[in-house]
Amino acid sequence: MMQKIKKIKKPLAVIGILFLLLFPVIITSSYYLHVMILAGIYVVLSLSLNLITGYTGQLCLGHAAFFGIGAYAGALLMVNVHMNFFFALICSFIISGIFGLLLGIPALRLRGDYLAIVTLGFGEIVHLVFVNWTELTNGPMGIRSIPGPSLFGIELDGNQEFYYLILIITALVLFLLNRLVNSGFGMAMQTIKADEIAAESIGIYPVKYKLIAFILSSGLAGLAGCFYASYISYISPTTFVYNTSVTILAMVVLGGLGSLTGSVIGGVVLTLLPEVLRSISDYRMIFFGALMIIMMIFKPEGFWGVSKRVKNIYKIKAGGAQNERDYESR
Amino acid sequence: MAMLEINDLKVKYGVIPALKGLTFHVDEGEIVALIGANGAGKTTTLHAISAIVDKSGGTISFNGKNITNEKAYKIVGMGIAHVQEGRGIFSEMTVLENLMIGAYLRKDKADIQADLKQVYSLFPRLEERKAQNAGTLSGGEQQMLSIGRALMAKPRMLLLDEPSMGLAPVVVEDIFRTIRKLNKELHMTILLVEQNAQMTLHVVNRAYIMENGKIVHSGTAKELRENDEIRKTYLGL
């Protein structure tokens, strides 16, 4: 079965990419386009969280805070300083990353539940700052009329342009993270997830890797935030709450911890699902909850954890067979 | 001059002293064992050397350099590789990845390949299973992988923490044979922690017997094997 999947993998990928490229042409409904753009934003968010939670094994419950910091940083720069969208994107990446560093230095000394509590607290604090620092953030009223992107005087603020922008951003993030997690650096991160003491005893300094993963993760969330602010053109503190953090975490877990493909699937599915279930909106949350429970019972490794598993089982069998031959030949 | 010199080493877990002033040394090219019952402080000693636990007193020097206050990840770079009790392999990674991560700190790419070949010739099993996930290996193979991974760091000294733990006698013999081979052929200096005194005293040059965080006997393997008290207490003869 694996070989079959391998055979059709390439044509499937080509069809998928073509579909994504032509999507705005085929489907002109602005509603569908809007949902796809949101899905793109959430894919970037879940990819970035996967880096810290899935690959490095550090549970973070405050990802929405970095999303929000990026959104506010980008919005304020674009509205107050009239910074170009693309520069704002880079600035929000850097600013969120700095906050990631500041939180990371003390927080990453903690493990597991304790880190989760600290990041949860950080998320709440950031939310409260958004609400109460009215001079800067305009409080609960939020920031309005955030400009869209423009390049060389050409306005790019149509839905189609936004769609292609987020597609490019997502593809870039996916490409970079894929390179990262498959490098020596990615391997070091995974050893920390598996066993910190063992990692240390082969010369890997856990704090360094956790911190870099944390900075990168929060920076990318900030980048997604800046894009979100420009796309929706209005931000308020209600978006960047605990609920959002949990949703992003659910995307990562449901998609598969430590799988980039999983994060993409998780992000898309959990953005589309509430929209698909809009017709039965009264029972939506019940359906949502039930799905989560069913997933955790039957596929705790997530949507895409499976491919890894199948591969392992396949290899165990191969190893076992070899083993038997070994014994016979003795 | 001793390669590893430990002077009055003390470690406390909270208020409870685990090591109450340990003094011993390992010379270059030797295999030295720390033998003792559970709770004697053997593993703690190794953890203190590779800085996984904090020391409350004493000094450790390696090749004449004081390493008492170095961080754990730096110790490996200096040439001390620690094979943890319970093996500490990365079960989600393949055997090859586990070995290569052992060479993570090294920059000499060409030598890494040569060392990989050497590890494979020591443990042919690992080469057969290089593409398999490490978690699917048997206990003995995991122990081999753990030692192999430590060797990939190209250490000058190996700390082995109970390599025989939980393994069948025939596998234990195999592991001990490899330890001796490592010492004889690759001139690796080894500090071995063991409960299996019988087997250990046939492999090592010298041994220290530990009890309650202190060294109570020391001597060459032959001396200890012939000491009546030790024969009774540790060898059950």
Residue at A7 is within a domain: no
Q: What is the CATH number of the domain that holds A288?
A: 1.10.3470
Q: What is the CATH number of the domain that holds B57?
A: 3.40.50.300
Select from B98, B124, B144 the last residue of a domain: B144
Number of domains in chain A: 1
Contact B90 A194 (CB under 8 A): yes
Query: pLDDT category, A198, cuts 50, 70, 90?
Result: confident
What is the reported pLDDT for B87? 67
Average pLDDT over residues A144-159: 82
Residue at B150 is within a domain: no
Q: Give whole-number Cα distances, A239 to A130, A209, A227, B36, B106, in Å.
A: 11, 30, 14, 60, 46
Between A219-228, A293-302, A305-314, B179-188, the lowest mean confidence (pLDDT) is in: A305-314
What is the reported pLDDT for A4? 60
The answer on B198 and B131 residing in a single domain is: no
Question: Domain limits at A65?
Answer: 32-329
Contact A201 B129 (CB under 8 A): no
What is the reported pLDDT for A3? 59
Q: In what order do the strands lie in the sheet with B2-13?
A: B16-27, B2-13, B57-62, B65-66
Residue at A248 is within a domain: yes
Chain B contact set for A188 (CB, 8 A) = 101, 104
Highest mean pLDDT: which range of A51-55, A183-187, A321-325? A51-55
DSSP code, position A55: I
In this structure, the strands spanning B206-211 and B214-220 are antiparallel
What is the reported pLDDT for B6? 92
Measure B152 CA to nearest chain A CA, in Å: 9
Q: Residue A156 in contact with residue A148, Cβ under 8 Å?
A: yes
The answer on B207 and B95 residing in a single domain is: no
Residue at B149 is within a domain: no
pLDDT at B131 over 90: no
Q: Give whole-number Cα distances, B176 to A9, B152, B162, B196, in Å.
A: 48, 19, 11, 11
Query: pLDDT category, A322, cuts 50, 70, 90?
Result: very low
Residue at A102 is within a domain: yes
Question: Domain limits at B96?
Answer: 89-144
Q: What ipTM, to 2 d.p.?
A: 0.75
Between A193-207, A284-298, B158-172, B190-204, the lowest mean confidence (pLDDT) is in: A284-298
Taking the alpha carbons of A9, A10, A11, A16 in that order, is the dihedral positive or negative?
A: positive
Q: Give whole-number Cα distances, A135 to A66, A130, A131, A143, B225, in Å.
A: 20, 10, 10, 11, 81
**Residue A2: phi, psi to the nearest 5?**
-60, -40
Most A CBs within 10 Å: which of B46, B52, B85, B92, as the mutation test of the A interface?
A: B92
Measure A320 CA to nearest chain B CA, in Å: 10
What is the reported pLDDT for B109? 77
pLDDT at B100 over 70: yes
Chain A contact set for B76 (CB, 8 A) = 201-203
Q: Residue A258 in contact with residue A54, Cβ under 8 Å?
A: yes
Q: Is A201 on the interface with B (CB under 8 A)?
A: yes
pLDDT at B226 over 80: yes
Residue at B84 is within a domain: no
pLDDT at A309 over 50: no
The answer on B75 and B94 residing in a single domain is: no
Mean pLDDT (chain A, rounded) = 84
The answer on B138 and B25 residing in a single domain is: no
Residue at B215 is within a domain: yes
User: Token match 């009264």: residue?
Assistant: A282
What is the reported pLDDT for B89? 86
pLDDT at A128 over 50: yes
Between A50-64, B46-60, B102-116, the lowest mean confidence (pLDDT) is in: B102-116
User: Token match 């699937």: residue?
Assistant: A265
Here the tokens at position B69 are: 């206050």
Query: pLDDT category, A5, cuts 50, 70, 90?
Result: low
Number of domains in chain B: 2
Residue at B33 is within a domain: yes
pLDDT at A88 over 60: yes
Average pLDDT over residues B52-60: 90
Per CB distance under 8 Å, which residues of B are interface residues toward A? 50, 52, 71-74, 76-77, 81-82, 84, 88-93, 97, 100-102, 104-105, 128-129, 131-133, 136, 149-150, 153
The answer on B159 and B50 residing in a single domain is: yes
Residue at A317 is within a domain: yes
Q: Quick one: which H or E segment has residue B48?
A: helix B42-49
What is the reported pLDDT for A315? 44
Of A190, A194, A203, the CB nearest to B73: A203
Q: Is A316 on the interface with B (CB under 8 A)?
A: yes
Query: Exposed, middle or buried, A235 (CB in 10 Å: 0-12/13-18/19+)?
Result: buried
Q: Is A191 on the interface with B (CB under 8 A)?
A: yes
Chain A contact set for B81 (CB, 8 A) = 201-202
Contact A322 B133 (CB under 8 A): no
- Longest Cα–Cα distance of chain A, Å, equals 81
Q: Residue A303 in contact with residue A256, Cβ under 8 Å?
A: yes
Residue at A276 is within a domain: yes
pLDDT at A75 over 90: yes
Residue at B128 is within a domain: yes
Q: Could you tell me the pTM of the whole model?
A: 0.81
